[in-house]
Amino acid sequence: MLEVNDLLAKVDFGDGTVREALVAAPEELSMGDVVLVHAGTIISKLSREEFMESFRYYRDIAVQIAVQAGVPEKRARREVNRSLKGLLDRKVKG
């Protein structure tokens, strides 16, 4: 996001397009935030902290199956992470 006031923000859509959008997000917004825009309205900020959470959620599922099949949990976690090519160790840029 490039600029923000109480009502409107200027948002860079990442492909060279810059458009105004209404602010309707619950969080305080600042320049540099990455936001979710729908029909010209900012509905949320995208969370960098939780960016990889989907893969943690998935890891729990895969580890549960492995443990139920008799694999020790620590080994199961290592193997799932290896098969995801170390995704969960990556830091999110930006």
Binding footprint of other proteins on the chain (CB under 8 A) = 1-2, 7, 12, 14, 16, 19-26, 31-32, 34, 36, 38-41, 43-44, 46-48, 50-55, 57-58, 61-62, 64-65, 80, 83-85, 87, 90, 92-94
**In whole angstroms, what is the distance from residue 25 CA to residue 52 CA?**
22
Smallest separation (angstroms) from other proteins to the CB of 74: 18
The number of C-alpha atoms within 13 Å of 13 and in the hemisphere containing its C-beta is: 13
The number of C-alpha atoms within 13 Å of 40 and in the hemisphere containing its C-beta is: 5
Query: Which CB sits closer to other proteins, 47 or 72?
Result: 47
Tokens, residue 58? 């998935």
Smallest separation (angstroms) from other proteins to the CB of 18: 9
